């Protein structure tokens, strides 16, 4: 039996996720690599260099006392971590790490999903020197996919405190409890685990040659040839590789550049940005956050009244989901969001075009007062939808449930 320690955001979901795999003998959640025993080198986003470096230090150190959840939330410096004991004859460490990278954002610093704080950082902590080379091989492949350094710590386990009992197997005890990992990842096909990490050949066959070259090798489709260049139907645009929602039709406009153009993504966390110096130019590349698929570039020559940005995206990197098919395709929750976005756009149009007309007709004082009343009632009418938008964009996080359980620690 071997043991590995993985920090992947809130440990409730991470433990539930790994419990499903054959070869994982047992799991336990706790707090790892806090202050003390800090003589060892732990690689992470604060270190220099683009690739994994040698780690030093002893294996492992242990804290002098138990750490409480309140201390961790107050910034003790520990990471919420899952201790995995696995049978390497059934499941390899490489396979476990491939599963691990499926459910984390490796570029996020001190954040996973809706959870923010140093305790939610990502990390791979080993207990035997013999594990290091296997981990480094997986880590380097993920760096290559991301196009740069990861924000995932890599180093020896320095210390580990088991968490309070109510945290152990939390989602088994509370099936409706909060989890930052989508539910579909708790039912991966264990009979054919290779499907969870799709091969390059299978991916190319599924999405096509052009989409594969664009998303995986940063190719660019020829201008004015993409199917979505002048396409303005109502719906959402998702990553052709992973299905992650990236853009809304409400933010799409005709820039005349020859590729689909958007003023913004559906959320700030949907994309990652990278410096691109290819072809003798300096540009900002954008990739999908979940699949790290190359999408295109972002420029600062977009509509000024909508933020001034132009997301120039390859059609081949996208799949369009029409509004009427959102339920059938599993994106039903986005219906309310699209209605909200339409409402916000119409409010903006009211302000830009209706206000001057009313002011000219009624005079400055009465015109502004009349428009203010219309504007206020219009906004109030959309308030329930805006509230729904907030909940959808935060993955319907049940803060009350989470706070109640965590306050009991």
**10 noted as active-site residue:** yes
Measured torsion, CA atoms of residues 303, 241, 92, 17, in degrees rounded to the nearest 10 = 70
For residue 271, with 0-12 CB atoms within 10 Å meaning exposed, 13-18 middle and 19 or more buried, which class applies? Answer: buried
Distance CA 292, CA 142 (A): 10
The residue to which tokens 């791979």 are assigned? 124
Q: Which residues of 158-168 are buried (b: 16+ CB within 10 A; e: fewer)?
A: bbbbebeeebb
DSSP 259-285: S-EES--SSGGGEEEEEE-GGG--EEE
Is residue 109 classed as helix, strand or coil in its secondary structure? coil
Chain-centroid distance, C-alpha 39 = 32
Active site residue 73: no
Catalytic residue among 73, 179, 257, 312: 312
Helix, strand, or coil (residue 136)? helix
Q: Number of C-alpha atoms within 13 angstroms, CB side, residue 195? A: 8
CB count within 10 Å of CB 335 equals: 16
| Catalytic sites, residue numbers | 10, 312
């Amino acid at each position: 039996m071997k043991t590995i320690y993985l920090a992947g955001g809130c440990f409730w979901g991470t433990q539930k996720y790994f419990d499903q795999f054959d070869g994982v003998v047992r799991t336990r959640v706790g707090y790892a690599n806090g202050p003390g025993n800090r003589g060892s080198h732990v690689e992470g986003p604060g270190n220099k260099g683009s690739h994994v470096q040698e780690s030093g230090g002893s294996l492992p150190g242990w804290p002098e006392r138990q750490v409480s959840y309140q201390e961790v939330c107050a910034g003790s410096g520990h990471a919420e971590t899952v201790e995995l004991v696995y049978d390497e004859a059934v499941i390899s460490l490489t396979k476990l790490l491939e599963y691990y990278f499926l459910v984390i954002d490796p570029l996020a610093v001190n954040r996973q999903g809706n959870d923010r704080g140093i305790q939610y950082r990502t990390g791979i902590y080993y207990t035997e020197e013999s594990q290091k080379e296997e981990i480094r091989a997986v880590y380097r492949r993920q760096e290559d996919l991301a196009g740069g350094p990861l924000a995932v710590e890599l180093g020896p386990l320095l210390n580990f405190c088991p968490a309070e009992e109510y945290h152990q197997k939390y989602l088994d005890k509370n099936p409706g409890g909060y989890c930052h990992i989508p539910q579909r990842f708790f039912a991966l096909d264990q009979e054919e685990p290779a499907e969870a990490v799709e091969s390059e050949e299978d991916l190319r066959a599924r999405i096509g040659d052009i989409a594969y070259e664009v998303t995986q090798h940063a190719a660019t489709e020829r201008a004015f040839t993409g199917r979505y260049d002048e396409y303005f139907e109502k719906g959402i645009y998702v990553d052709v590789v992973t299905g992650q929602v990236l853009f809304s039709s409400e933010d799409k406009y005709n820039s005349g550049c020859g590729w689909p153009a958007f003023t913004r993504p559906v959320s700030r966390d949907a994309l990652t940005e990278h410096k691109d110096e290819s072809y003798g130019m300096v540009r900002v590349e954008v990739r999908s956050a979940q699949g790290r698929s190359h999408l295109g570039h972002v420029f600062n020559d977009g509509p000024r009244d909508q933020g001034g940005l132009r997301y120039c995206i390859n059609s081949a990197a996208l799949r369009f989901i029409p509004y009427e098919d959102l339920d059938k395709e599993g994106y039903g929750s986005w219906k309310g969001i699209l209605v909200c976005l339409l409402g916000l756009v119409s409010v903006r149009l009211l302000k830009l075009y209706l206000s001057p007309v009313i002011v000219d007709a009624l005079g400055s004082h009465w015109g502004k007062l009349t428009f203010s009343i219309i504007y206020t009632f219009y906004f109030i009418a959309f308030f329930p939808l805006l509230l729904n938008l907030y909940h959808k964009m935060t993955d319907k996080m049940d803060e009350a449930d989470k706070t109640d359980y965590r306050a009991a620690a």
